[in-house]
Chains A and B, each alone.
Chain A
């Protein structure tokens, strides 16, 4: 029996695809031609899905989790509402996902992305790049600081605007846990108007993407804090699985 410290190897709990957005969500127009029409082929996890790349803390630079400074000129900083975003990455069993790699990206305080395809007329901030990353500690805990992103318009409906959001990419311990999502901010009235948010059918699932203001961790005279916990798929025990070496 594996000790508590040894990596787990069980297959992941099945994904609840009624909780996630379906592929075809016509209110989000680009999904119409980019959604598979055939049923997915189901596969209980093999080694190809239960294993995954793990990234050492060595890849993380000192300022990778500080978007206020990681693109800024020396002595300068990004413009906007200073915030700390922090939380834990757990799996569905409530176990911390230690060593999870988080990558995040966002627009600047005016809603402008630093990307060649972006044409929104709001200005770039010369001291803001918009990317960051970090690796969770042994408790699954992470934190980064940034400026609160602005809302921005996008060509979907005639007058669609994205709520303020930060994109997250997450690596757990198995490639089948791979997840990309978006974090929203408590109290933003734009959330409930957004066709991308509304791809998710269940209101409780949307609420899982909304980070509450975390007053206790707000740093006086510096930055407000938002709390965003991320849940990855849990995995089965291997106690009663076929042992490969026994076959």
Chain B
């Protein structure tokens, strides 16, 4: 008989539910005084290096209605392409940049929003540089396990064309779903959970 691999099983995911804000952003949903502030609402300060940008967007369900009870988190490198994480071994990231942000979609219009900086490039496993990108994670009522995707930038056409992840998208028309739209320093990234313009989601 084969011996067991003796590996534990990952705790299964469950939906974050409609009241996820109570736990993750209590100050923004009327539970004030427990925490000084909500985590992830400020990614930059006046000393942060790099080009300031805003990223906003909406999440649409399969009936094209905006999802107004989601939480979106982003994780990204600093302007030099370094992650503010103990697992970053290539150098020290900008101490004035957290790299991580959290935003609730508005209960009125469904818009999420981040004030951040344009990330630098980060190497893929084989050393090729990936195009600048944000890692995006979405949870909400009706979503049983958090959805990962990436946001890429439209001005990086050349880098995007050579990006090791984007190159793996078999249906080339779907690459567009991971590229934000730009207006000055504002980027719009709309996410479609299902249907003809469904965003590419990742198993990472």
Contact = CB atoms under 8 A, between A and B. Distances in A.
Contacts of B19: 105, 113, 115, 117-118
Contacts of A159: none
Interface of A: 7-9, 11, 13-17, 19-23, 25, 28-38, 40-55, 59, 61, 63-64, 70-71, 90-94, 103-105, 113-118, 129-133, 167, 169, 173-176, 178-182, 196-197, 199-200, 204-206, 208-209, 230-234, 241-242, 244-245, 247
Interface stretch (B109-117, B179-187, B193-201): B193-201
10 tightest CB-CB pairs across the interface, nearest first? A105-B23, A30-B142, A247-B127, A34-B142, A51-B85, A53-B100, A7-B86, A33-B62, A21-B144, A40-B203
B125 interface: yes
B126 A242 contact: yes
Contacts of A105: 19-20, 22-24, 26
Interface string B1-34: 0000001111111111111111110100111011
B90 interface: yes
Given A35-B194, A40-B202, A169-B23, A19 B9 contact: yes
Interface of B: 7-24, 26, 29-31, 33-36, 39, 61-63, 65, 67, 69, 73, 75-77, 83-90, 98-100, 107, 122-127, 130, 133, 135, 137, 139-148, 150, 165, 168-169, 174, 193-195, 198-204
B142 A28 contact: yes
Contacts of A13: 7
A64 B10 contact: no
Contacts of B65: 33
Contacts of B30: 114-116
Looking at B63, B75, B198, which has the most chain A CB atoms within 10 Å of its CB? Answer: B75
Contact of B137 (A23, A178, A244): A178
A61 B77 CA distance: 28
B147 A15 contact: no
B15 A28 contact: yes
Contact of B125 (A44, A116, A196): A44
A43 B99 contact: no
A85 B38 CA distance: 23
Contacts of A31: 15, 142-144
B194 A36 contact: yes
A46 B7 contact: no
